[in-house]
Amino acid sequence: MTEVKKIAVIGSGAMGRQIGMVAALGGFDAVVQDISADAVSQAEQAMKEWVDGRVAKGRLDAGQADAAWSRLRFTTDLREAVGDADLVIEAATEKLDIKRRVFAQIDELAPGHAILTTNSSTYGSSSVADATKRPEKVCNMHFFNPALVMKAVEVVRHPDTSDDTVDTVMAVARQMGKLPVLLNKEIPGFIANRLMGALRSEAIDLFEQGIASLEDIDVAAKSALGHPMGPFELMDLVGIDVTYLIREATFDMTGDEREKPHPLITEKYEAGEFGRKTGKGWYSYAD
Ligand code: 3HC
């Protein structure tokens, strides 16, 4: 297996920042990179608040927190981030042209032995692997929101991914305290998003037909099925923009009309009502 000591995370959004912290808590040297200095400093601040909260709540001792901070850095410099990385996790926006550009750049800058992964849940890694000269070292490593809490990581190989790459990424996920699952074949949505998508479509249909309020549909998912959140609450957490972009991309890839974003999702996307991050989605958030 490839020895992994240093992990670079590309993108400091809701996922990237938390994946960086998960890596540092798992004992890896980690760096989170983003092109925007503002985004990087917001991400660092959010992680400071999270760590302070954990320490105050007695969930993390101060020594562990200091050790994690000593292993984690935030930067805008891609060369510095990936120049000595053993594993790169790309968590940039769900747009294929951006991801392909990022993979081509990382491939130039990262050491030859480095494994390059994408956190994408939409695009199988074959759609970025051919932007690099090391397709056998490329796969998906898909985390779930909030990545600091959710245990699952979907590892998805494409036809040319090597066994060493898969074994290394599975082992890294376990060292991060996660429960990785392996998909031997690329399929849009992988496992968990396909299950979630089916539930979400039903939930929106029930709401649109006026069968029940969105609040009651969420209550039923929690109280009847034991889900921690209802489908509307979950869309607001994940981001209606993310949901929209995933559906659009999946429709582009498959041509299947059923994959198109629901018109109510499109309406919210166009209105900039993305959920918790904008203060309004299906629900309104005071701050
Ligand atoms: N970031 C970090 N930690 C968080 C958090 C966040 N955004 N939200 C909650 N937590 C932590 C809390 O600190 C708390 O930790 P503790 O118990 O150790 O102190 C723990 O999670 C539980 O939080 P709360 O008591 O405040 O609230 P809940 O018990 O309701 O848990 C939840 C919150 C973990 C988000 C839970 O509701 C849940 O599991 N929801 C479902 C999330 C889910 O399905 N995620 C997958 C989305 S799909 C996806 O990401 C794929 C992508 O491709 C779209």
Active site residues: 121, 142, 154, 193
Asked whether residue 1 is domain-assigned, the answer is no
With a pLDDT cut of 70, the percent of the chain lying above it is: 100
> In the prediction, which pLDDT does 71 show?
97
Q: Rounded to the nearest whole angstrom, what is the distance from the C-alpha of residue 266 to the centroid of ligand 1?
A: 25
pLDDT one-digit tens code per residue, 186-242: 998 899 999 999 999 999 999 999 999 999 999 999 999 999 999 999 999 999 999
Angle in degrees, 0-180, between the axes of helices 240-254 and 231-238, rounded to the nearest 10: 90
Structure confidence at residue 162 as a pLDDT band (50, 70, 90): very high
User: Is residue 28 domain-shared with residue 147, that is, in the same domain?
Assistant: yes
Q: What is the CATH number of the domain that holds 258?
A: 1.10.1040.10
pLDDT one-digit tens code per residue, 107-160: 999 999 999 999 998 899 999 999 999 999 999 999 999 999 999 999 999 999
Q: Select from 183, 213, 233 the last residue of a domain.
A: 183
User: Is residue 178 domain-shared with residue 208, that is, in the same domain?
Assistant: no
**Nearest CA, atom 20, ligand 1:** 149
Q: Rounded to the nearest whole angstrom, what is the distance from the C-alpha of residue 77 to the centroid of ligand 1?
A: 30
Q: Is the beta carbon of 152 within 6 A of some atom in ligand 1?
A: no
Residue 146: which H helix or E strand, with range? Answer: none
> In the prediction, which pLDDT does 66 show?
96
Q: Is the beta carbon of 229 within 6 A of some atom in ligand 1?
A: yes
100 CB neighbour count, 10 Å cutoff: 17
- Return the ligand 1 atom nearest residue 142 CA: 53
In angstroms, the CA 154 to CA 180 distance is 6
Inter-residue contact 275 to 244 (CB < 8 Å) = no
Asked whether residue 56 is domain-assigned, the answer is yes
**Nearest CA, atom 28, ligand 1:** 228
**Nearest CA, atom 33, ligand 1:** 228
Domain count, the chain: 2
Residue 15 known to bind ligand: yes
Q: Indicate if the pLDDT at residue 8 is higher than 90.
A: yes
pTM, entire model: 0.93
Residue 277 known to bind ligand: yes
User: Is residue 179 domain-shared with residue 198, that is, in the same domain?
Assistant: no
In angstroms, the CA 51 to CA 152 distance is 21
Q: Indicate if the pLDDT at residue 287 is higher than 80.
A: no
Residue 11 known to bind ligand: yes
In angstroms, the CA 115 to CA 169 distance is 8
**Nearest CA, atom 44, ligand 1:** 234
Asked whether residue 283 is domain-assigned, the answer is no
Q: What integer is the mean pLDDT of 244-259? A: 90
Asked whether residue 85 is domain-assigned, the answer is yes
DSSP H helices, the chain, are 14-25, 37-56, 62-71, 78-82, 96-109, 126-129, 163-175, 192-208, 214-225, 231-238, 240-254, 263-270
Q: What is the mean pLDDT of the chain?
A: 96
User: Is residue 44 domain-shared with residue 104, that is, in the same domain?
Assistant: yes
Q: Is the beta carbon of 7 within 6 A of some atom in ligand 1?
A: no
> In the prediction, which pLDDT does 188 show?
87
> In the prediction, which pLDDT does 93 show?
87
Q: What is the CATH number of the domain that holds 27?
A: 3.40.50.720
Q: Rounded to the nearest whole angstrom, what is the distance from the C-alpha of residue 213 to the centroid of ligand 1?
A: 24
Q: What integer is the mean pLDDT of 68-77? A: 97
> In the prediction, which pLDDT does 175 show?
98
Q: Select from 122, 157, 183 the last residue of a domain.
A: 183
In angstroms, the CA 285 to CA 133 distance is 45
User: Is residue 64 domain-shared with residue 94, that is, in the same domain?
Assistant: yes
Structure confidence at residue 253 as a pLDDT band (50, 70, 90): confident
Q: Select from 183, 207, 238 the last residue of a domain.
A: 183
**Nearest CA, atom 13, ligand 1:** 54
Q: Choose the residue to mutate in 120, 149, 154, 232 for probing ligand 1, maximizing ligand atoms within 8 Å of C-beta.
A: 149
User: Is residue 105 domain-shared with residue 208, that is, in the same domain?
Assistant: no
Q: Which residue has the higher pLDDT, 94 or 218?
A: 218
Residue 14 known to bind ligand: yes
Structure confidence at residue 76 as a pLDDT band (50, 70, 90): very high
User: Is residue 209 domain-shared with residue 157, that is, in the same domain?
Assistant: no
Q: Which domain holds residue 174?
A: 6-183
